[in-house]
Amino acid sequence: MRSRQSNERAGFAILSLLSALLSLPAAEPSAAAIISPFFAPPAEHAGQLGNYRSPLLFNDGSRVKSAADWSRRRAEILAQWHGLMGTWPPVLEKPKLEYLAQSRRENFTQHRVRVELAPGVSGEAWLLIPDGKGPFPAVLVPFYEPETSIGLGKSPQRDFALQLTRKGFVSLSIGSPGGDARKPESGREVWQPLSFLGYIGANCWHALANLPQVDPKRIGVAGHSYGGKWAMFASCFYDKFAAAAWSDPGIVFDEPRGNVNYWEPWYLGRDPQLTRKPGLIRADSPRTGAYKVMMETGRDLHEVHALMAPRPFLVSAGSEDPPSRWIPLNHSIAVNDLLGAKNRVAMTNRKEHSPNEESNAALVAFFEHFLKP
């Protein structure tokens, strides 16, 4: 029979174990748990399609009824948009990547590199490679300049590359070709500048895919505002990107909103014959370039979003993309439904244009969910 002393020792051990268990930090929720609430629109927008022409209608009005039909319809959308914006030249499958300097930061190595963005166009960038054994998933992060994306700029919540590299992603952060987003480089005259940025994104996909540390099947792209527009056009028009996140770019045309300014000549309004005053569309500053034709023919960016299907994308939405943006996003959900793909379109919402800790946590979880085993 146990002695009183041994019973006391056993009781003390149990109490000590319970105390230790209670003091343990709560387990972090999984990436899937974090992102799962954001795949469904709120009730007031569920199933609403608005006045947007369905991407599931061919140009002749007939309906897409199968995956094979969608393949043909997707090619039709691509041809129409490239026809309006200018056809891409061949993608650079082996863009030059020159290592300039390196340093240690946290749990990764930071490389200053020079990357070939397009034929005759190169730019300095930051390549962050996490510690450990690859191959790793990777993400391309475009912005006005590359420093902000790696946490060396003035906007700490726009450091997508840094946050993802901390979680085990290789990241390549690039800036505007030529250094000024509003002054497109010579050589872009043959197509719209936003399409040129998409083409640069495609070339940078190859720059990442060629690295031995990167799994080419798990490369995504993420950007904020201007970078969000850039990420959208890169991912939608180049289907090798496995996933994408667009932070408050204005995901459809919206002329009353000055920051949703696809009409500007540095996006889709370039016209060699006309120069418009920057700012809102007015009688003395009308629509120009491809944007003018798009508006006149009923084009909108919901057709571009649909090119992602069945690849997943996240809209990290702020002031320029209110919850009503689920209405155009419902068209992408319809395409994914046709293809038998669920939970491929997500949106988070915040009041401010700038990202915050909560929206960034969802963005990181989105990529972890889809690009990490």
Convert the pLDDT of each residue in 135-171 to its tens digit.
999 999 999 999 999 999 888 899 999 999 999 999 9
How far apart CA 310 and CA 218 sit, in angstroms, is 15
Torsion angle defined by CA atoms of residues 315, 317, 321 and 323, in that order, rounded to the nearest 10 degrees: 90
CATH number for the domain that contains residue 87: 3.40.50.1820
Looking at residue 188, its pLDDT comes to 59
The residue type found at 317 is A
Looking at residue 2, its pLDDT comes to 45
| Average pLDDT of span 196-216 | 97
| pLDDT above 60: residue 76 | yes
276 falls in which pLDDT band (50, 70, 90)?
A: confident
| pLDDT above 90: residue 186 | no
185 falls in which pLDDT band (50, 70, 90)?
A: low
| Average pLDDT of span 240-250 | 98
Asked if the structure places residue 22 within a domain, the reply is no
* Residue 190 vs residue 251, higher pLDDT: 251
| Average pLDDT of span 59-82 | 98
Asked if the structure places residue 280 within a domain, the reply is no
Asked if the structure places residue 347 within a domain, the reply is yes
How far apart CA 289 and CA 287 sit, in angstroms, is 7
Q: Which of 253, 218, 368, 246 is nearest to 317 (CA)?
A: 246
Q: Which of 313, 318, 314, 323 is nearest to 356 (CA)?
A: 318
Q: Which of 129, 97, 111 is nearest to 210 (CA)?
A: 97
How far apart CA 270 and CA 288 sit, in angstroms, is 7
179 falls in which pLDDT band (50, 70, 90)?
A: confident
Q: What's the chain's length in residues?
A: 373
21 falls in which pLDDT band (50, 70, 90)?
A: very low
Tokens of 155: 């906007």
28 falls in which pLDDT band (50, 70, 90)?
A: confident
Looking at residue 83, its pLDDT comes to 96
Looking at residue 205, its pLDDT comes to 98
16 falls in which pLDDT band (50, 70, 90)?
A: low
Asked if the structure places residue 218 within a domain, the reply is yes
Positive or negative, the CA dihedral 334, 338, 342, 346 is negative
Neighbour order of strands in the sheet with 121-130: 97-105, 108-118, 121-130, 170-174, 136-142, 214-224, 243-247, 313-317, 345-349
Asked if the structure places residue 348 within a domain, the reply is yes
Positive or negative, the CA dihedral 75, 78, 84, 90 is negative
Asked if the structure places residue 19 within a domain, the reply is no
The residue type found at 303 is E
What's the domain range around 152? 32-252+300-371
Q: How many domains are there within the chain?
A: 1
Which stretch of DSSP H or E encloses residue 164? helix 160-166
Percent of the chain with pLDDT over 70: 91
Q: Strand, coil or helix: what is 315?
A: strand
361-to-130, 304, 355, 358, 371 alpha-carbon distances in Å:
19, 26, 10, 5, 15
Asked if the structure places residue 267 within a domain, the reply is no
Looking at residue 26, its pLDDT comes to 59
How far apart CA 236 and CA 335 sit, in angstroms, is 14
- Across the chain, mean pLDDT equals 92
Asked if the structure places residue 246 within a domain, the reply is yes
